[in-house]
Every structure is written in structure tokens, then in C-alpha cells.
Amino acid sequence: MFDSLKKKLQNIRTKFASNIEEAAGAEQEPPVAQLPEGAETSEPAVQPESPAAEETVQEGRESPTFFEKVKVLVREREVLLQEKDVEEPLFELEMVLLENDVALPVTDEIIARMRSDLVGRHRKIGASVDDLVVSTLRSALCGVLGEGLDLRDFIEGHERPVKILFTGVNGTGKTTTVAKVGQYLQKNGFTVVIGAGDTFRAGAIEQIRTHADRLGIKTIQHQAGADPSAVLFDAVQYAKAHDIDVVLADTAGRFHNRANLMNQLDKIRRVMKPDLVVYVDEAVAGNDAVIRADEFNKAVGTDAVVLTKADMDPKGGAAISVAHTVGKPILFLGTGQGYDDIMPFEPRTVVNELLGDES
């Protein structure tokens, strides 16, 4: 997932780090070179950090060890970066983001955040300059990814049955996502019914029915060609009668600019009264997915986004851009064709994945 972007970000990190190291070197002597002097003069310099360190100090040794002093000196290094110190890596970062399908306004936002975090401020450099770079990059990326949305919390906070409508264009993975979300919710202790609301495409009812049967989820279905609002109304009635927690509504693919299908969606919304309208698109579509999601939201409203096929997307641009562009959170990433291949979108985890970092 996002391998091309990950690799490029790794290179950019090195670039930033070497520029910052250079700027810091120009400002002050390297800390190790200062050590002999500092070691003699800074008497009570050490604040023990770990219980082990505290023990050693309490064991009667009055002055800190050589190693502890190095740590303190390194930790206290500070640098005041100027625009010229980061101009080049910032430009490279901008290019990398754009090449990897991050939308222009989102790229601008990330660069602006990085610049304001780095330039003209006294920044402490810890044991490694890379830590400073990573934390700045992490906070810029988290800034554009927003908060995310935990579906379990959403369901807990709403009256049952919670009605979730899945919509978007054809072939992006709506039906598969409905099945995956069904299993995810079952595993999290919720009961689920699926409404087979794609009555338009040949074979669509059988497709969702097959998934649901495999997962032991009840499907409410009508004949092919039936009015999808009637099917989904029935699914909601079924859930009410059987104390089901969640109704998942599959629908036919549609474009926001096709009037008849959009009118049909309007009717579905009026009849089913969804608590959550989820727009599904594929991460591999990059900027197209972001533009479609935005247009869809403007045309009919969207509460959250699922991006499928993230497993096939080396770039990650849509995943980075869509929440900021549409102003709605990403709910899940689809990460494969199996029912388990779904990942709740937790911005920090995704950023850690991008930065190849577990912390």
C-alpha cells in the first residue's frame, strides 16, 4: 500500500535531515566536539529519565556518566532554520506529493504547515535530526487527514437501527464493501441486515446475496428492476421488527450528473432516511476519485468516504486528499478482495504507515 509514496518520503526525510544538520552545524559546534569542555563545567546537568538511570545515580555516583552528558548535550541542541535551509527539500516534497496524486490545495496545505513549523522558529534537535523531520511531517499529514470516524462509536451514539447507505460510481467496490463492513460489524458484536438496493445491474442481487449468505447475514431483496427505495424501506422495517442494529444498503452505481439515477437516490434518501451516507470510490483512481467525491458530496451530500483498492495503489494521493477536499472523514480503506481486507481509517496509523514508522 502506497509504496511509491513511502519510498519517496523516505528520500525527502534524508534530504530535510541533511539540510537541517548543515544549518545546525553552521550555527554551533557539533555537540560531541564540545564535550570535553561541557563535561567539566556542567555539574548537575542530568535529569535521569528511566528508573534504571535513577538507580545508577542514587547508587552514590555524584556526577553523571560520560554517556549521560552526551545525551543531554545532544538533546539540548537547537536550531533556528531559515527559509533557505528548507527551500529545496520543501520544493522536492511538493513535487513528490503532486506526482503521487495528492490534490494541489492539499499539497499546498502540507507544504505551508511544514514551512510554518520549521522556518523562523527555534527548534530543538533531539538525538536525531530525523526525529524533528518526521514529527513535522507527521503533524502536517495528520493536519490534512483530519479526525477520521470510528463506525462503532457512530453506531453506539445513534438510535437503532442505524441506517447506512452506500453509494458511488460503478465497479469501485460498493457491494464488496457492504459485505466487508457487514462482517466487520458482526465481529464487533452488532447485528446486521443488508438491503439489496442495486436492482438495476444484472446479477447485482445475486452478488450481494452470495456474500451475505457466506457471512450469515440476512438479505432483504426484491425482483430485478424493482424500486430500490421499496427494497431499502423493507430492509429498515425488517431491522425494526427484529431488533437489528444496523441496515447496510447496497445501491446501483451512478454518476452525479445523471439526472434519473440521482433522482432515484433522492427518493431512496427520503424513504430510507439514512443516518450515514457513505461515498465509495477507489484509491487507485487518484485525483479522479477526489474530484468525484467532492462533486458527489455537493450534489447529494456525503457523510463519510470509503476508499477501496488501496492495496493496488502505490501513490496514496486520494487517501491523503479526499477528507480535506470533501470535508468529510474517511471511514475505511479497502485493502484486498477478501472479507477481512478492510481497515478502519485511523489517520495516525495511516501516517505512521506512510512514514514507515511504528511510533
Ligand X SMILES: Nc1nc2c(ncn2[C@@H]2O[C@H](COP(=O)(O)OP(=O)(O)O)[C@@H](O)[C@H]2O)c(=O)[nH]1
- Residues forming contacts to ligand X in the complex (CB under 6 A) are 170-176, 253, 308-309, 311-312, 334-337, 341
Give the CB-nearest residue to Mg ion. 175
Q: What is the DSSP letter of 311?
A: G
- Least distance between ligand X and beta carbon 182 (Å): 13
Applying CB under 5 A, the residues found at the interface with Mg ion are 174-175
- Least distance between ligand X and beta carbon 309 (Å): 4
Q: Given the complex with ligand X, which of 16 and 345 has the nearer CB atom?
A: 345
What is the number of H-type helices and E-type strands within the chain? Answer: 15, 10
Cα–Cα nearest to 265, from 172, 198, 178: 198
Q: Given the complex with Mg ion, which of 73 and 179 has the nearer CB atom?
A: 179
Helix (H, G, I), strand (E, B) or coil at 195: strand
- Least distance between Mg ion and beta carbon 179 (Å): 10
- Least distance between ligand X and beta carbon 36 (Å): 59
- Least distance between Mg ion and beta carbon 18 (Å): 49
- Least distance between Mg ion and beta carbon 164 (Å): 15
Strand locations in 26-175, DSSP E?
Answer: 78-80, 122-124, 162-168
Q: Given the complex with ligand X, which of 107 and 167 has the nearer CB atom?
A: 167
Q: Given the complex with ligand X, which of 48 and 336 has the nearer CB atom?
A: 336
Q: In this structure, are strands 246-251 and 192-197 parallel, antiparallel, or unpaired?
A: parallel
146 Ramachandran zone, left/alpha/beta (phi>0; psi -120 to 50): left
Between CA 197 and CA 208 the distance in angstroms is 10
Helix (H, G, I), strand (E, B) or coil at 45: coil
Main-chain dihedrals φ then ψ at residue 265, nearest 5 degrees: -65, -40
Q: Given the complex with Mg ion, which of 160 and 209 has the nearer CB atom?
A: 209
Instruction: Give the number of other Cβ atoms within 10 Å of residue 25's Cβ.
Output: 11
Q: Which residues contact 295 (CB under 8 A, 6 or more apart)?
A: 256, 257
- Least distance between ligand X and beta carbon 210 (Å): 11
Omega before residue 161 within 30° of 0, cis: yes
Q: Given the complex with ligand X, which of 175 and 183 has the nearer CB atom?
A: 175
Q: Given the complex with ligand X, which of 83 and 340 has the nearer CB atom?
A: 340
Q: What is the DSSP letter of 355?
A: T
Between CA 251 and CA 37 the distance in angstroms is 73
| 171 contact choice in Mg ion, ligand X, none (CB below 5 to 8 Å, kind-dependent) | ligand X
DSSP per-residue codes, 125-138: --S-HHHHHHHHHH
